[in-house]
A and B are shown apart, each in its own frame.
Chain A
Amino acid sequence: MVGLAASGGWLRRLLAAGFLLVAASAWAQAPSSCLDCHSSLDPPKKVTAEQFATDIHAQKGLTCASCHGGDPSKDDDQAMSKAAGFRGHIKRSQVPELCAGCHADAAYMHKYNPSLRTDQLALYKTSVHGQRLAKGDEQVAVCTDCHSVHGIRPASDSRSSVHPLNVATTCSRCHSDAARMKPYSIPTDQFAGYSVSVHHEAQAVRGDLSAPTCTTCHSNHGAAPPGVASVEAVCSTCHVFQAQLFDSSPHKAAFAAAKMPGCVTCHSNHRIQHPTDALLGTGPQSVCTNCHAEGDAGFKVAGTAKEKISGLEAAIESADELLDRAERSGMDVSQAKLSQTQARDALTKARVSIHSVTVERILQDVQAGTKLAEQNLAAGNQALADRDYRRWGLGVSVIVILLTIAGLWLYIREIEGRNRSRPA
């Protein structure tokens, strides 16, 4: 060392710079002897620097010690000493309180993200998970089960386990596990049903992130199934009209009396399929006949409703067909085709008004749609009549042309009768 110190000033400066560089890089990474060891351990103790770097907490400057305590600047025993506040592995039952230590502190969270909610723990305590945990069941979900740990991404990140598109899969990790759910007697077909539902399709296929997933109806932190009485209120946050119509229909009182939940009774809760007209009426797939039988008022209404709606659909289809035919013969029917979209709108509305289970109400929309369809049918007929008029005009001109040709021919014969063809 003496030799080095004595050597030329430039070398010393170079070494100093190099040392500073190493020190600086170590400082910037927040000294973590934790990761030095834990990155080479086996799971579940394994945490690598790469993994932790993806964690939102790490990105905000928190370290292992922020949750686990201890002193990462020291090595081994001193790092994990009680004196340094080391907590070690956090017991599952302690996880919610640990996370809430920061996340329920509004003043603290304000420093990082003022728009984040801080009531997660309070909600959690009302949830089935929270209540069971309080009773000592450590098998239920705690924060880290859904949000993962050491690699937590914000919910807006599409790779996060709690991103709207991933929520159902996260819930299903437990809720589709028959062995796990057995002690609670909870069915495990929800994820399977949801995966073939229209809500899932809206999310996954149409990319509509506002489409409902598990947490939309069950809440995320306050996870609990909605009670029978409140299912309809949950669905009605989006399906407003259906709920309003249902509320003013005879079904409301009847369902309440029979302790049947609104909406779900006919549409299912998780396996919600796209409703077709086959659900109406009195046919084999009808939901009405689940309760109503031949002879009662409801049965009649079901039959009438189906008949009216099918009638409207048929009217729209026949207008479509006629308009297509007119278009193929070269006539312009773009105005009528535009009006057909409004007729189809009326059909959509009629299918919503079903929920009133009142014929007068359903007829309002059906009649509006039928009127439009009939107008468009008339337009199609007019177009075809125009086409026929053209053909008639053509017939006249062809006759005129034939007459002229006949005249020409006869005239030729006449003049050649007088002048025979001349030799060259």
Chain B
Amino acid sequence: MLERVRAWLDERVAWNQIAEFLSHKTVPLHRYSYWYFLGGITLFLFGVQVVTGMLLLLYYRPTSNEAFESVQYIMTQVQFGWLVRSIHSWSANLMVFTAIAHMFSVLFLRAYRKPRELTWISGMVLLFLVMGFGFSGYLLPWNTLAFFATKVGTDMVGQMPLVGHKLMIFLRGGEEVSGATLTRFFGFHVALLPGITTLLVAVHLALVQRQGISVPPAIEAEWKASPAARRDMPFFPNFFLREMIAWYVALGVLGALAALAPWELGTKADPFASAPAGIKPEWYFLFMFQTLKLIPAKMWFLDGELVGLAAFGSAGLLWTLLPFFDREGARFGRKWIVGAGIFALAYMSVMTVYAYWAK
């Protein structure tokens, strides 16, 4: 039966060729191989987001009058609505975490080297898109925290020189955060960002299939010395089965989080009320938020916040162009990159913890 389906497909889309190509896909086996799971988990979580997001779309209403009530409806009246919504919120956070972890693991294993520069760049853009998903999605329940976090976040965008104000108005759909902002963010979150992300994920995956999975330089050296020591695992079925285990674990974690720590509703946003004390953005923006809070209002003749934003902006740009700083033979570049990676990881962790502590 399966054979007939395969034959039918092959006549139309050269299935056998594709299957043949995939059957050769291997995964290098070494002491760092476990890190290879992170990309797949991120992809799995993206799938979870798409499915739960589409389910939420059946009941969610993106207007300032009804958004909060519709989420309340989902949480309390819709059968298993609480499960879908809590999984969506938790998976979003988990996905940001695994995406960042995936990025750092690629950095430390130096998988961005030639010929994989484009994979790194597409991955970095994907990371920014994921954070855009997080920022836009966070507003959708239209509760007090979300409203003010969005206000603060878009205020910071407005601080940028020249384009800042126009960009802020574009994001907000006006001068203030309002129902227009909600409509816009909804459009970003369910149409614009998914469209771009899907394309980029396809590119990112195609590149990985084409170029194979990278081997860290240390291991490369070892295997060069003794070729017989090299081990590879076929992707199908061996590595894939292991990935399934990882995905099931992630699923279990999500279910547990949804049932034991359901995502809260909060209180409906009131644009005329004053911001509650201690407004903070979501955890993955905290390190930037905290940094901006610590920068003095004026540094020499420059506005402090501007300096902070410029620093993060240029850091992001340089990070995206990382592969071009680490060329073959330039050992100097490599040490800098590893150092920068450790510094960034440490800085982000410390600042995030600090932000929670500082309240």
Contact = CB atoms under 8 A, between A and B. Distances in A.
Which 8 pairs across A and B sit closest by C-beta, in order of nearness? A330-B262, A332-B76, A394-B259, A401-B252, A424-B232, A390-B259, A424-B230, A408-B245
B234 interface: yes
Contacts, number: 68
Interface in B220-253: 228, 230-234, 237-238, 241-242, 244-245, 248-249, 251-252
B255 interface: yes
A411 B233 contact: no
Contacts of A415: 237-238
Interface of B: 26, 29, 72, 75-76, 82-83, 86, 228, 230-234, 237-238, 241-242, 244-245, 248-249, 251-252, 255-256, 258-264
A55 B129 CA distance: 71
Given A397-B252, A398-B252, A411-B241, 14 more contacts: A330-B262, A332-B76, A390-B82, A391-B259, A391-B260, A394-B256, A394-B260, A398-B256, A401-B255, A405-B249, A408-B241, A421-B233, A421-B238, A423-B230
A73 interface: no
A409 interface: yes
A393 interface: yes
Decide if the interface of chain A is mainly helix, strand, loop or mixed: helix
B248 A423 contact: no
Nearest to A399: B252
Contacts of B256: 394, 398
Nearest to B241: A412
Nearest to A393: B259
Interface string A386-406: 000011011001100110110
Contacts of A397: 252, 255
A186 B72 CA distance: 63
A185 B228 CA distance: 116
Given A329-B262, A330-B82, A423-B230, A401 B241 contact: no
Interface residues of A, number: 25
Interface string A324-368: 000001111010000000000000000000000000000000000
A422 interface: yes
B238 A394 contact: no
A412 B231 contact: no
A31 B258 CA distance: 86
A416 interface: yes
A422 B241 contact: no
B232 A421 contact: yes
15 contacts: A330-B261, A330-B263, A331-B76, A334-B72, A394-B259, A394-B260, A401-B255, A404-B248, A405-B248, A411-B241, A412-B241, A421-B231, A421-B238, A423-B232, A424-B230
B102 to A, nearest CB: 22
